[in-house]
Amino acid sequence: GAGVSQTPSNKVTEKGKYVELRCDPISGHTALYWYRQSLGQGPEFLIYFQGTGAADDSGLPNDRFFAVRPEGSVSTLKIQRTERGDSAVYLCASSSGPGDPFNSPLHFGNGTRLTVT
Amino acid sequence: RKEVEQDPGPFNVPEGATVAFNCTYSNSASQSFFWYRQDCRKEPKLLMSVYSSGNEDGRFTAQLNRASQYISLLIRDSKLSDSATYLCVVNGVNRDDKIIFGKGTRLHILP
């Protein structure tokens, strides 16, 4: 079946602009994660949704970052007033839910490479 | 202490050799652990879960040491295709807790 889909795959924007990154999880997956990864670093946790609600948004770096998942499926990560330091690969992952974690590993999308000039 | 720590490497290992690396975690109540593999400019993919009793999958063996709060990954008879970054992943204490990734250990298998 279809995997996690992220669009766009690449986004170049100017400093100060607003961007939206989209994630379409695997059908039926209730858990959705956003991570940010810089070169040479591991994925950095941003926010985790269980269904429509954000179960944990402690990783969002500041109030310029916001994410929604209004119908419990597609999620959008929104970044206002982008800064050069926001440049990174933004990864989305979904899983079948918190049940048995050994049987619900994360499935990642290909990521969106954001470049702020 | 960081939540999940790994030696970033790189580990440069000749083909056919055995290599092992560890990952330490700070929360003693963490419940589940995983190793993910990430190839250059690709997304992470699950390599194996780490069970309390340890588990083996072909050339790969994963172990958990709760007393010392670390997990390990051992690769035997390493292949060129094993070259990648290996990410240690720790699940939270509660079912709804976030999943934390280490920074990864880079492995280069040399011909």
DSSP letter string over A8-51?
-SEEEE-TT--EEEEEE--TT--EEEEEEE-TTSPPEEEEEEET
Give the SS3 label for residue A85.
helix
Give the containing element (helix H, strand E) for A55.
strand A53-56
User: Does residue A3 sit at the B interface (CB-CB below 8 Å)?
Assistant: no
* Of the partner residues A40, A56, A105, the one whose CB lies closest to the CB of residue B46: A105
Residue B94, pLDDT > 80, answer no
Contacts of A58 in chain B (CB under 8 A): 98
Burial of residue A79 (CB within 10 Å: 0-12, 13-18, 19+) is buried
Contacts of A98 in chain B (CB under 8 A): 95-96
pLDDT at A104: 75
Evaluate the CA torsion angle B34, A68, A66, A1 in order and state its sign.
positive
pLDDT at B2: 73
Query: Strands, DSSP E only, in chain B?
Result: 4-6, 11-14, 19-25, 33-38, 45-50, 55-57, 60-65, 70-75, 84-90, 100-101, 105-110
Query: What's the rounded Cα separation, in Å, for the pair A6 and A76?
Result: 10
Residue B96, pLDDT > 70, answer no
Enumerate residue ranges in chain A where pLDDT < 70. 1, 97-103
pLDDT at B10: 93
Edge to edge, the sheet with strand A65-68 lists A5-7, A19-24, A75-79, A65-68
Contact A112, A13 (CB under 8 A): no
Confidence of residue B77 (pLDDT cuts 50, 70, 90): very high
pLDDT at B68: 94
Best mutation target, A10, A38, A41, A106, to test chain B (most B CBs within 10 A): A106
User: Tokens 């720790």 appear where?
Assistant: B90
pLDDT at A47: 94
- CB–CB of A106 and B31 under 8 A? no
pLDDT at A22: 98
Q: A38 to chain B: nearest residue by CA?
A: B103
Task: Please tell me what DSSP assigns to residue A105.
Answer: -
Query: What's the rounded Cα separation, in Å, for the pair B83 and B104?
Result: 13
Confidence of residue B84 (pLDDT cuts 50, 70, 90): very high
Displacement of CA B31 from its chain's centroid (Å)? 15
Query: What's the rounded Cα separation, in Å, for the pair B1 and B91?
Result: 17
- What are the b/e assignments for B22-60, b being 16+ CB within 10 Å? bbbbebeebebbbbbbbeeeebbeebbbbeeeeeeeeeb
Confidence of residue B31 (pLDDT cuts 50, 70, 90): confident
Confidence of residue B93 (pLDDT cuts 50, 70, 90): low
